[in-house]
Amino acid sequence: MAFEGLGERLQATMDRIKSKGKVSESDIKVMMREVRLALLEADVNFKVVKQFINQVKERALGSDVMQSLTPGQQVIKIVKEELTDLMGGDNQKINLSQKPPTVIMMVGLQGAGKTTTAGKLALHLRKNYNKKPLLVAGDIYRPAAIDQLETVGRQIDVPVFALGDQVKPQQIVTEALDHARAEHQDTVIIDTAGRLHIDEGLMNELKDIKEIAKPDEIMLVVDSMTGQDAVNVAESFNDMLDITGVTLTKLDGDTRGGAALSIRSVTDKPIKFAGMSEKMDGLETFHPDRMAQRILGMGDVLSIIEKAQATVDEDEQKVLQQKIKDQSFTLDDFLEQMDQVKNLGPLDDLLKMMPGANKIKGLDKMQMSGNEIDHVQAIIRSMTMDERENPSKINASRKKRIARGSGRTLQEVNRLLKQFNEMKKMMKQMTSQKGKKKNPFGNMGLPF
Amino acid sequence: MSFLKRLKDRFQPSREKEAAGKSVEEQNEKLDDGLISIEEFEEWEQEQIGYKFKAGLEKSREKFQNEINELMARYRTVDEDFFEALEEVLIGADVGFNTVMELTDELRHVAKVENITESRDLKETIVEKMVEIYERNDDLPETVNIQEDDLTVILVVGVNGVGKTTSIGKLAYKYKQEGKNVMLAAGDTFRAGAINQLKVWGSRVDVDVISQSEGSDPAAVMFDAINAAKKRGTDVLICDTAGRLQNKGNLMNELSKMKNVIQKTVPDAPHESLLVLDATTGQNALSQAKAFKEVTDVSGIVLTKLDGTAKGGIVLAIRNELGIPVKFVGLGEQLDDLQEFSAENYVYGLFADMISNAEELDDSGGDDV
Ligand SMILES: Nc1nc2c(ncn2[C@@H]2O[C@H](COP(=O)(O)OP(=O)(O)O)[C@@H](O)[C@H]2O)c(=O)[nH]1
Ligand SMILES: Nc1nc2c(ncn2[C@@H]2O[C@H](COP(=O)(O)OP(=O)(O)O)[C@@H](O)[C@H]2O)c(=O)[nH]1
Ligand SMILES: [Mg+2]
Ligand SMILES: [Mg+2]
């Protein structure tokens, strides 16, 4: 991400004001320009930005900013509040019908992630609501679309209703609903073909399906990397179908995701889910407040910490922290940590979500792939317990033995031991520094 | 002659020629009968492409021009409000943020130096500067690097769902039509149904598809394909790859491994590394181009889904900042919905109405100021 966050953007103005000690109306104007640029860079639609800026400006011109000692912070606070407000406050859950089956209809442009999200939703509903979902193959146009949904169904063990690509989607949906009732499938998720919002013929097809299926949820699936066009897409789909919810996909990428704000502002419909990976478990509930921060380039720290916490056992974490504190962290602990890191997913993905991480030189080069972790683990596993606890005992002949045993080179063994040494030094610093400067990883219990 | 007029003459097929509506057969016959020269035929062909391209861009363009015209009507004087509004119009077309800033800063400068106060008088300079940005890297090869008597390998990369597989189907069709022997490699072994999707395109176009089972190593598929292509004397091998977000280090590494495998057998391959970009994508497309360029040395862009309302203006920034030219545009989901990209036509497409409006002003004497 090459873009500056709002904080950095406002820095210069804040510095100037600090030396002057007083905020003028023209200072506010300059700040508003920075806010505007930050939002435009994040792909928020320019009309939405304009509206938003007017709102913020009004509040900023009120007494709270003008009289504040930290006007920059105040502006950021107002922007964040207004943005979170616009994004819709709390997370909203999926609509479920009292009378089964609940019908969910997936709609959106080509390639947005409808089919993938249909599968993810099926899994989500079964796991968290104990539902019995049925997936319906309503995309008869895209080559192998049915095959794709059937594969997804197999992966998550959810039945797929398909009638091939020679039957009209309207008919497929009609029969699917009968089928669901007969088989007591209490949730029906209809996958539809991607279509342009200006394609009248295909948009009418969706209207027909809506008429037939009377869905409880019409889920508009939008790619989070969408630019200015997001308003047109969201507005058209909403006008035609009166959508009930939105899923924003591919948020595991490095996009700021300003489209989220655009969509909210033109449809006033809640964004309910975030797609966070290509895999079936990669669906998360959408948190408007966190999205607001992400759009402003302040990083999604909470999501990262949550992800880390979900993977790292809390008790283990406490033990670990104690070990770090009293310097008894061993290579064996390191081995265990590696497992947790592996569960967390690629390290660089995680780091890239950190605020300011784009500023760290060489971060893009720093990668620890699954392979490398495997290699390091192999080396440690070839050590005796005694060696793992007292690495200083590992002399040249022991190194040779370890290298042979793990199938790695002597250099790799050396490198690992050196790195471990440095890591311990770093831990020592971290613990002695505690309270002074917050290390973002400090309370995650991860030794890097 | 004014710049706009020159631009117009260059890109707009004259009305009479268009009205004649000659068919390909007719023109071919004339060529055979010696009624027209090969140059004349080629010129006609070029016009046809330009015309079809224009038609495809119609919808995107309409909105864009309305906005520009509205802008000129609303902001008659050149002031900060005008520039802010202009920035918005360009940003509305997803033209890269920095490019827009660069452009408007230059315009501010021109307005100041030349003492331009009426927005109308700045119109021409706007177009001029846009074209300039586009033509700055003029020495870039715009054509596809096809080896005449040898195997050409085209690697197709991009993020998820942008239209890689579909574009490969269209490219296969194009090269097959040109009489080439085409083969496809099913390098997306990850996404559900991806292999079958490519196979459907393969059978539509009637070309061979080399594949392994879902979940297998894509580098191994590349190895198979490149060897099969060599053995069978294939002219063009087009390699599909799984979609990957550019910030995923491990997946980007996988891509470079695929490239290495290809290069082991054919050292100067891939001859083209095409990055597929979705026209609806905003500023992130720049980050995509940067990351993929680093890994696969991207030689060209396929800009898809231009049949929608998105304008894909980010390609201006990509060309400006990274020097990667657009080589093809996707205008639909059918086999023949692929056009060779022409920068002039594209810019012309975005500015067509502005130009004709300025023309009218020119024609009406222009001394009413
Ligand atoms: N990284 C990532 N990829 C996604 C996500 N959702 C979908 N995809 C990918 O996006 C592409 C298009 O998805 P698909 O479900 O086929 O889209 P559809 O055309 O709308 O049905 C596929 O490659 C998916 O694997 C997501 O949340 N993250
Ligand atoms: N309207 C339109 N749709 C397209 C275009 N190119 C691809 N698509 C659609 O976009 C979706 C994703 O395309 P696909 O080739 O599977 O993308 P991939 O994941 O990058 O291989 C499919 O539904 C395609 O039909 C285009 O130029 N215009
Ligand atoms: Mg689909
Ligand atoms: Mg594909």
For residues B264 and B224, state if they share a domain: yes
Nearest to B277 by CA among B226, B224, B328, B350: B328
Distance A147 CA to ligand 2 centre (A): 16
CATH assignment at residue A424: 1.10.260.30
Per-residue pLDDT at B137: 60
Q: Check if A196 has its Cβ closer than 6 Å to any atom of ligand 2.
A: yes
* Chain A residues 363-392 with CB within 8 Å of chain B: 364, 367, 369-370
> Is A92 within a domain?
no
pLDDT of residue B33: 74
* pLDDT at residue B325 greater than cutoff 70: yes
The ipTM of this complex is: 0.79
Indicate whether A220 and A336 sit together in one domain.
no
> Strand, coil or helix: what is B279?
coil
- Residue in chain A nearest B278 by alpha carbon: A226
Strands A271-275 and A283-285: antiparallel
Report yes or no on B264 lying in a domain.
yes
CA B289: distance to chain centroid?
13
Q: Count CB atoms within 10 A of the CB of residue B128.
A: 15
pLDDT recorded at residue A367: 47
Of A29 and A181, more confident: A181
Residues in chain A: 448
Q: What CA–CA distance (Å, rounded) separates B234 from B221?
A: 16
Whether residue B90 contacts residue B316, with contact meaning beta carbons closer than 8 Å, is answered with no
Pocket (CB within 6 angstroms of ligand 1): A 108, 110-116, 194, 221, 249-250, 252, 275-278, 282; B 160-161, 191, 243, 245
Which residues 263-282 on chain A approach chain B with CB closer than 8 angstroms? Answer: 278
Contact B286 A349 (CB under 8 A): no
Instruction: Name every chain A residue with its beta carbon within 8 A of the beta carbon of B286.
Output: 2
In chain B the first and final C-alpha atoms are separated, in Å, by: 19
Integer Cα distance of B48 and A4 in angstroms: 45
Say how many domains are in chain A. Answer: 3
Distance CA B213, CA B189 (A): 7
Instruction: Judge whether A37 and A5 are in contact, CB under 8 Å.
Output: no
User: What pLDDT, on a 0 to 100 scale, did the predictor assign at position B199?
Assistant: 97
Q: Report which ligand 2 atom has the smallest distance to the Cα of A145.
A: 23
- Please tell me the predicted confidence (pLDDT) of residue B143: 80
pLDDT at residue A276, as a whole number = 94
pLDDT above 90: residue A363: no
How does pLDDT run across B17-39, given as a tens digit for each residue?
343 445 666 777 777 777 777 77
Residues B171 and B290 in one domain: yes
Is residue A96 in some structural domain?
no
Q: Which segment of A405-419, B78-92, B187-201 scores lowest on mean pLDDT?
A: B78-92
Which of B92, B214, B278 is nearest residue A228 as measured by Cβ atoms?
A: B92
If you average pLDDT over each of A202-206, B39-43, B83-87, which comes out highest? Answer: A202-206
* Most trustworthy range by pLDDT among A85-99, A403-417, B207-221: B207-221
CA atoms lying within 13 Å on the CB side of residue A44: 26
Of B91, B159, B199, the CB nearest to A40: B91
Q: B183 CB contacts (<8 Å, ≥6 apart)?
A: B207, B208, B209, B210, B225, B228, B229, B232, B234, B236, B237, B238
- CATH number for the domain harbouring residue A19: 1.20.120.140
Residues B49, A132: Cα–Cα separation, whole Å: 53
Q: Which two tokens stand for residue B279?
A: 């026209």
Residue where one domain finishes, among candidates A87, A119, A142: A87
Average pLDDT of the segment spanning B256-262: 95
Residues B119, B12: one domain? Answer: yes
CATH code of the domain containing A167: 3.40.50.300
Answer whether residue A383 is part of any domain.
yes
User: What number is the average pLDDT over the span B143-157?
Assistant: 91
User: For all residues of chain B together, what is the average pLDDT?
Assistant: 81
Q: Do A418 and A274 have their domain in common?
A: no
Three-class SS state of A284: strand
Ligand 2 atom nearest to CA at B330? 27
Query: What domain range includes position A80?
Result: 6-87
CA distance A87 to chain B (A): 20
Strands A102-107 and A133-138: unpaired
Weakest-pLDDT range from A131-145, A235-249, B97-111: B97-111
Judged by CB atoms closer than 8 Å, whether chains meet at A143 and B197 is answered as yes
Which of B162, B193, B290 lies nearest to residue A148, judging by beta carbons?
Answer: B193
Sheet (strand A217-223) strand order:
A160-161, A133-138, A187-192, A102-107, A217-223, A245-249, A271-275, A283-285
Residue of A281, A136, A157, A111 lying closest to B243 (CA atoms) = A111
Residue A419: count of CB within 10 angstroms of its CB: 13
Q: Is the pLDDT of residue A390 over 80?
A: yes
Boundaries of domain holding B261: 152-341
User: Closest Cα partner for B7 from B367, B347, B325, B339?
Assistant: B347
Q: Sort A61 into a burial class: Cβ within 10 Å, 0-12 / 13-18 / 19+.
A: middle
Q: How many A from CA of A282 to the centre of ligand 4?
A: 19
Q: How far is B226 from chain A (nearest CA, A)?
A: 25
CB contact (8 A) between residue B308 and residue A50: no
Residue A106 lies in a domain: yes
A301 touching chain B per CB within 8 A: no
Q: Using pLDDT thresholds of 50, 70 and 90, give the confidence band for residue A344.
A: low
Query: Where do we find the tokens 């179908």?
Result: A241
CA of A108 relative to ligand 2 center, distance in Å: 13
Decide which of B82 and B363 is more confident. Answer: B82
Q: For residues A75 and A65, is the Cβ–Cβ distance under 8 A?
A: yes
**What spacing in Å lies between the alpha carbon of B199 and ligand 3's midpoint?**
17
Give the model's confidence band at A267: pLDDT under 50 very low, under 70 low, under 90 confident, else very high.
very high
Nearest by CB to A352, which of B163, B197, B247? B247
> Per the domain annotation, does B368 fall within a domain?
no
- Mean pLDDT over A71-86 rounds to 80
pLDDT at B296 over 60: yes
How many domains does one find in chain B? Answer: 2
Q: Which residues of A296-321 are buried (b: 16+ CB within 10 A; e: fewer)?
A: bbbbbeebbeebbeeebeeeebeebe
Greater confidence (A43 vs B76) lies with A43
Region B349-355 average pLDDT: 48
Residues of A in contact with B92 (CB under 8 A): 45-46, 228
One-letter amino acid for residue A370 of the chain: G
| Distance between CA atoms of residues A393 and B287, nearest Å | 48
> Does B202 lie in the same domain as B327?
yes
Res A72 pLDDT > 80: no
pLDDT score at A87: 86
Does the pLDDT of residue A447 top 60, yes or no?
Answer: no
Q: Is A255's CB within 8 Å of B282's CB? A: yes
Asked, for residue B123, whether it belongs to a domain, the answer is yes
State residue A434's pLDDT score: 45
Residue A20 pLDDT:
67
Q: Which residue's CA lies nearest to atom 26 of ligand 1?
A: A250
Residues B198 and B298 in one domain: yes
Of B93, B97, B160, the CB nearest to A250: B160
H helix runs in chain B, sequence order? 3-11, 15-20, 24-32, 38-74, 80-92, 97-113, 123-135, 164-177, 194-205, 218-232, 249-265, 284-296, 314-322, 343-363
Over residues A421-442, the pLDDT tens digits come to 887 777 777 666 544 333 333 3
CA distances from A394 to A390, A403, B108 (A): 8, 12, 68
The amino acid sitting at B135 is E
B167 alpha carbon to ligand 4 midpoint, in Å?
A: 9
Q: Contact B185/B239 with Cβ under 8 angstroms?
A: yes
* Residue A328 and residue A279 share a domain: no
Query: Is the same domain home to B134 and B238?
Result: no
User: Which ligand 2 atom is nearest residue A193's CA?
Assistant: 23
Give the amino acid at A23. V
Q: Does residue B327 share a domain with residue B230?
A: yes
Q: Is the pLDDT of residue B172 over 90?
A: yes
Mean per-residue pLDDT, A347-357:
49
Whether pLDDT at B167 is above 80: yes
Look up residue B270 and give its two tokens: 């891939």
Residue B269 within a domain: yes
Q: What is the CATH number of the domain that holds B117?
A: 1.20.120.140
